[in-house]
Structure 1
Amino acid sequence: MSDPERGEDVCVWLDVSAGVSGDMLLGALVDAGASLEVVQSAVDAVIPQTVRLVAHETVRAGMRALKVDVELLAADQHHRHWSEIRDRLREADLAEVVRENSHAVFERLAVAEARVHGTSVDDVHFHEVGAWDSIADVVGTCAALADLGVLVAGGGEVEVPRTDLAAAVDVELAAAVAPAVNLAAAVDVDPAAEVAPGGARSHRVTASRISLGSGSVRAAHGRVPVPVPAVLELCRGWDVTSGGDGELATPTGVALVTAIAAEQSPMPAMTVRSIGIGAGTKEQPDRANVVRVVVGQQVGVQGSGTAPDADGVTAPLTSSVAATAWGAGAESGRSERLQVLEANVDDLDPRLWPTVIDGLLDAGAADAWTTPITMKRGRPAQLLSVLAAPSLVATLIDVVFASTSTIGVRVRDVTRCALDRGWADVDVSGQRVGIKVAHREGRIVNAAAEFRDVEAAAATLNLPVREVLDAAEAAGAAAGLARGNGIPKGLRATP
């Protein structure tokens, strides 16, 4: 896509009403103008000398479409652990926007598979979605969206999953034990696997209802019904329909849509700039087996659709013109619409509040806190506040009810402006301490040591926390991580 078309108001609508797979989505984006060379370069960074992407035109139900085939250049055993894929993404020479979005897609897949098979996320063993071609589809699609200008690197405090899906498991298991347990303990999620702040969702990407199909297919463990279990897990909170016979939506395709799209709606108001049609492998007798993408410039206020209810999606900003203008620049930060959950609690053992807060954060809340209040008849109480992406609200309400004594939760909309940030490491007497670096317009605004790292280092070194904190921040300043300095190269997207 040419530079004049890469405006700050560029948006993409994904038409997945006929189903979706990774190769269909990738083909549609390349057909819409994303550079196949850029996509190939990103894929090569993760799995070098392994696959070649080949695009060719074809016809589906009389409609011209682009098919992107993934040709294997090396033997593939198909089966890979999530940890291997995560390490490849972390070590690859990728643009951060591509790395963090690819990471988010695969983490969604890992959490869904963990729930389906009743295992921990780190023990997830991918089958088809761990193959080279599926890795190419995910990384390639994220690179294509970045090339079209609709994805930006982590832009705020919202931490989309550790657990949009895992939180639901936490709630179910916690309910069987006690309401005040740490709700993250039920699912073993490696903190290193957390999605980068800001997550993958882009307020510039919307999608239609997803057609999933029906019937049954043969999988690694035998025949399974369609939609397959992992697809259903990925679709929690999303509008779906059967749409026809056969498997119309694959786990890879659904993970991409639900990780990246901010809401489901009819095609939003836009000035259409390009259209892409991506072909699936099969020729369906009763429909065009294609994914369509429409790339355009936003017109007026967006967001007439409804955000999914329960999967960690950041909904589009709809209410604050000033906030939108503040976050419009690629280097300034981001503004987004979030929601605040509130509950008045006057009868909870105060020793339980740390567990409540930790459980909410582990379940995907952007922040959680309490404020002392006085209720009717002079009763002292705590106002529990939880900041969250709109589509995590249902999950977090469950957590509030499971872990506190409240019988009601209020929800209200807010607009939050947040700076971009990344992480660097410093050494304190042989202990690693992360430094969170917030930046804007190419300059550091704030740099602060990660307090959990400081506490861990202090415990290992048998030193006061204050002493280790001072040493870490001094080491950061010595490394140039100070207000007003330029952004250092190599910042990580995750803590």
Structure 2
Amino acid sequence: MEDFYIECSPGISGDMLLGAFYDLGVPKKVIEKPLIDLGLKDLYHLEFKESKSCSIRGIKAKVENIEYSPIKRTWKSIKELILNGNLEEKLKQKIVEVFESLAVAEGNVHGIKPDDVHFHEIGAIDSLVDIIGVCAALNYLNPRKVYCNEPMLGRGFVQTEHGKLSVPPPAVIELIRQNNIEVLSSFDSIEGELSTPTGIALLSNLVDHLKPPSKYSINSYGVGIGNLQFVFPNLVRVYKISSIEYRSLNQQINPRFEEISIQEAWIDDQTPEDITNFVEKLRIEGAYDVSYQAINMKKNRIGFSIQVILPIDKREYFRQLWFNYSNTIGVRERTQSRWILLRRRGECSTTFGNVKVKQILKPDGSITMKPENDEVLRLEIEHKISTGEIRKIIQESSKKFKAFENWK
């Protein structure tokens, strides 16, 4: 499994993304198979052609509508078509998620229920091909993580079924609001639609991180060319990358490198009970660890210093936790690197029965094991013997280990 980075240069659309995946090496038959399985093969013609934008080569995906008697489909009917189709469950779910977000956005814009959104408001047959094709391509590539930079929106007007609409279209604004997507304003003076509703819907559902990785190497890439002509290249690039912690062909490199985020604040206007509740909230929400201690602050007040170690992709979420669940009016934040030994959770058979334990893989290949502390406490209460004795008995009597997860 590899990581992928979608570069909006400067915007994003479904057909450009589809062209980039094809250029990256996804076979056309992979893109079209779910469309054929859904009975749509006679409604469109898909062509991938070499093209250029400001002398930069790439692939342009062109979808021709050959539906002779167009049906006015609603999102409800499209959803039934997909859910009843003979598709892989993971792929089916992803396609539904993309269309659902688009239908909800269009429904909010027009003041109607998502199920009643008409198909022309989600696009036409080209939207079906773009969305299903991109989801199929990503399912085929099976990425570990997908990154993306912030897209740009443009300005001016775009022709739609509802007449001329200002850029960005209402559905794009709604999708950005719903998914808290950050956008860049650098090209807002450029006339034209740089990012389409379909493109933004795909990003909001398929991307894990709406920021590029801090360090990476490029293994290969594909370029998708757009239809509009600008004074700059109108394209989307998809990179197959190795981020720094996964550059080794042996992904079980030990110890493993990763970047983490550290957030901290000093608080002098909350009770110890409130601080305890907040610290527990941080742990429940996925912090790697939380530490806190009483400190002397200004005006001789006793306060608390709270420090949280958390996954780097949860920085924004944890900022909101600080401001919503504590009295602090500011949070200090920094990014740090760490090296960690691989570990995995599981259970061992012992004279106490099955006991939950954690294995740690040392750099020399040896494995150490320690029982989970909750298990030690449970056994101490049940058998009324000391912690030291519990650990000694587990160590001496442990036999078969059953892993609950892979090394990580």
TM-score, structure 2 length as denominator? 0.59
SS in 2 for 1:224: strand
Q: 1:410 aligned to 2:352? A: no
1:140-199 per-position Cα deviation (integer Å, ceiling 9, x unaligned) = 2132234345x13xxxxxxxxxxxxxxxxxxxxxxxxxxxxxxxxxxxxxxxxxxxxxxx
Q: Aligned residue for 2:75?
A: 80
Which of residues 181, 185, 202 is equivalent to 1:256? Answer: 202
Preserved contact between residue 106 and residue 121 of structure 2 (Cα < 8 Å): no
Offset at residue 276 of structure 1 (A): 3.4
Q: Aligned residue for 1:191?
A: none
SS in 1 for 2:201: helix
User: 5 Å matches for 1:435-474?
Assistant: none
Compared CA separation, residues 386 and 485, structure 1 to 2 (3 A):
closer
SS in 2 for 1:16: strand
Q: Aligned residue for 2:59?
A: 65
Q: Aligned residue for 2:151?
A: 210
User: 5 Å matches for 1:187-202?
Assistant: 202=145
Tell me, in whole angstroms, the C-alpha distance in 1 between the residues paired with 2:110 and 2:279. 28
Gapped regions of structure 2 (runs ≥ 5): 345-400
User: 5 Å matches for 1:383-394?
Assistant: 383=306, 385=308, 387=310, 389-390=312-313, 393-394=315-316
Tell me, in whole angstroms, the C-alpha distance in 2 between the residues paired with 1:44 and 1:31. 21
Tell me, in whole angstroms, the C-alpha distance in 2 between the residues paired with 1:411 and 1:117. 41
Preserved contact between residue 336 and residue 417 of structure 1 (Cα < 8 Å): no
Tell me, in whole angstroms, the C-alpha distance in 2 between the residues paired with 1:249 and 1:260. 16
Q: 1:374 aligned to 2:294? A: yes
Q: 1:139 aligned to 2:132? A: yes
Compared CA separation, residues 419 and 133, structure 1 to 2 (3 A):
farther
Which of residues 236, 242, 251 is equivalent to 2:181? Answer: 236
After superposition, the CA RMSD in angstroms is: 5.3
1:77-117 per-position Cα deviation (integer Å, ceiling 9, x unaligned) = 35416x97499469863263x45654664566467667767
Which of residues 192, 195, 198 is equivalent to 1:246? Answer: 192
Q: Aligned residue for 2:358?
A: none
Tell me, in whole angstroms, the C-alpha distance in 2 between the residues paired with 1:353 and 1:77. 57
Preserved contact between residue 347 and residue 381 of structure 1 (Cα < 8 Å): no
Preserved contact between residue 18 and residue 290 of structure 1 (Cα < 8 Å): yes
Tell me, in whole angstroms, the C-alpha distance in 2 between the residues paired with 1:136 and 1:21. 12
SS in 1 for 2:155: strand
Q: Residue type of the partner of 2:293?
A: I
User: 5 Å matches for 1:144-163?
Assistant: 144-148=137-141, 151-152=143-144
Preserved contact between residue 264 and residue 308 of structure 2 (Cα < 8 Å): yes
Q: Residue type of the partner of 1:22?
A: G
SS in 2 for 1:147: helix
Compared CA separation, residues 272 and 484, structure 1 to 2 (3 A):
closer
Compared CA separation, residues 121 and 52, structure 1 to 2 (3 A):
closer
Q: Aligned residue for 1:94?
A: 88
SS in 2 for 1:244: coil
Q: Aligned residue for 1:284?
A: 229
Tell me, in whole angstroms, the C-alpha distance in 1 between the residues paired with 2:140 and 2:154. 31
Q: Residue type of the partner of 2:181?
A: R
User: 5 Å matches for 1:104-143?
Assistant: 105-106=98-99, 109=102, 128-129=121-122, 131-143=124-136
SS in 2 for 1:217: strand
Tell me, in whole angstroms, the C-alpha distance in 1 between the residues paired with 2:250 and 2:107. 36
Preserved contact between residue 56 and residue 66 of structure 1 (Cα < 8 Å): yes
Q: Identity over the aligned pairs, expressed in percent?
A: 27
Compared CA separation, residues 41 and 112, structure 1 to 2 (3 A):
same
Which of residues 320, 324, 328 is equivalent to 2:251? Answer: 328
Q: 1:30 aligned to 2:30? A: no
Tell me, in whole angstroms, the C-alpha distance in 1 between the residues paired with 2:135 and 2:403. 32
Compared CA separation, residues 294 and 370, structure 1 to 2 (3 A):
closer
Q: Aligned residue for 1:465?
A: none
Preserved contact between residue 360 and residue 399 of structure 1 (Cα < 8 Å): no
Compared CA separation, residues 351 and 395, structure 1 to 2 (3 A):
closer
Preserved contact between residue 31 and residue 66 of structure 1 (Cα < 8 Å): no
Preserved contact between residue 33 and residue 148 of structure 1 (Cα < 8 Å): no
Tell me, in whole angstroms, the C-alpha distance in 2 between the residues paired with 1:33 and 1:276. 8
Offset at residue 26 of structure 1 (A): 0.4
Q: Residue type of the partner of 2:198?
A: T
Q: Residue type of the partner of 2:87?
A: D
1:42-86 per-position Cα deviation (integer Å, ceiling 9, x unaligned) = 3445x44465552242545565633242646684435416x9749
1:320-369 per-position Cα deviation (integer Å, ceiling 9, x unaligned) = x4x8769937xxxx9964535444545446479879987998xxx64598
Offset at residue 239 of structure 1 (A): 3.1
Q: 1:401 aligned to 2:396? A: no
Tell me, in whole angstroms, the C-alpha distance in 1 between the residues paired with 2:63 and 2:237. 17
Offset at residue 249 of structure 1 (A): 1.5
Tell me, in whole angstroms, the C-alpha distance in 1 between the residues paired with 2:232 and 2:326. 50
Tell me, in whole angstroms, the C-alpha distance in 1 between the residues paired with 2:86 and 2:44. 17
Compared CA separation, residues 91 and 384, structure 1 to 2 (3 A):
farther
Offset at residue 35 of structure 1 (A): 1.1
Offset at residue 484 of structure 1 (A): 5.4
